Chain A
Amino acid sequence: SQQGEEDPQALSIQEGENATMNCSYKTSINNLQWYRQNSGRGLVHLILIRSNEREKHSGRLRVTLDTSKKSSSLLITASRAADTASYFCATAADYGNNRLAFGKGNQVVVIP
């Protein structure tokens, strides 16, 4: 089954504002990851949160995980034009391999 499903929204914000996107998944996970993709290029890993963690920060990024609701959110604070990209959440359910299930992605446009 498809795991890691973001709310299918395109977000357009002004530079300096915060951007929030959500992700829901269906089955048990061992961790959830967020990736960024610029214009159909390769994905860049942003942050990983383990199933026993509730919140994690990395620079301007804040991710939360609610395993009871099977959901996660990614907050980008003080957005910049360079944050314009598609953002994907991905869940890892299995041990012993690197299979990730990706959501459909959120497109974020930051207007200078």
Chain B
Amino acid sequence: KAGVTQTPRYLIKTRGQQVTLSCSPISGHRSVSWYQQTPGQGLQFLFEYFSETQRNKGNFPGRFSGRQFSNSRSEMNVSTLELGDSALYLCASSSDQTGGLTGELFFGEGSRLTVL
């Protein structure tokens, strides 16, 4: 099985711009989660999508949004970029076959965003 694929791997934006990151989960996985990783704050949960519905959301401003398509692929968008948005954005998928219990997450390699 192919793993979780994230695109683009690296990107540079300037303050005020917006960015869209894409994630293709493992085939058959319906849950896609997004995490932000920075040296200062560590790994922080952004949101999770399951069957095209946002199932949970972390404590991030409304500039951070996401969506999931019928094929389970997901995108996240950050509008009006700030310097502090520079981070590694990680996507993870899960088979969600454990009766509601949180199981193993499969992570992609991440999209490294630099905001200048």
Contact = CB atoms under 8 A, between A and B. Distances in A.
A90 to B, nearest CB: 8
A101 B44 CA distance: 7
A100 B102 contact: yes
Given A43-B90, A104-B42, A97 B108 contact: no
Given A42-B4, A42-B107, A45-B106, A98 B33 contact: yes
Interface in A49-102: 50, 88, 90, 92, 94-102
A9 interface: no
Interface string B17-60: 00000000000000101010000001111001010000110100
Contact of A42 (B33, B42, B50, B108): B108
B55 to A, nearest CB: 5
Contacts of B90: 42-43
B48 A98 contact: yes
Contact of A96 (B42, B55, B88): B55
A33 interface: yes
Counting contact residues on chain A (CB < 8 A from B), the size range is 20 to 34
A48 interface: yes
A45 B26 CA distance: 15
B110 A99 contact: no
B1 to A, nearest CB: 15
Contact of B55 (A40, A92, A97, A103): A97
A48 B43 contact: no
Given A97-B48, A98-B33, 10 more contacts: A30-B101, A31-B102, A48-B104, A96-B100, A97-B50, A97-B56, A98-B50, A99-B33, A103-B42, A104-B42
* The 8 residue pairs across chains A and B that have the minimum distance between CB atoms: A92-B102, A102-B43, A42-B107, A43-B107, A97-B56, A42-B109, A45-B104, A95-B100
16 contacts: A41-B110, A42-B107, A42-B109, A43-B90, A43-B92, A88-B43, A90-B43, A95-B102, A97-B56, A98-B48, A98-B50, A98-B94, A99-B45, A99-B48, A101-B45, A102-B43
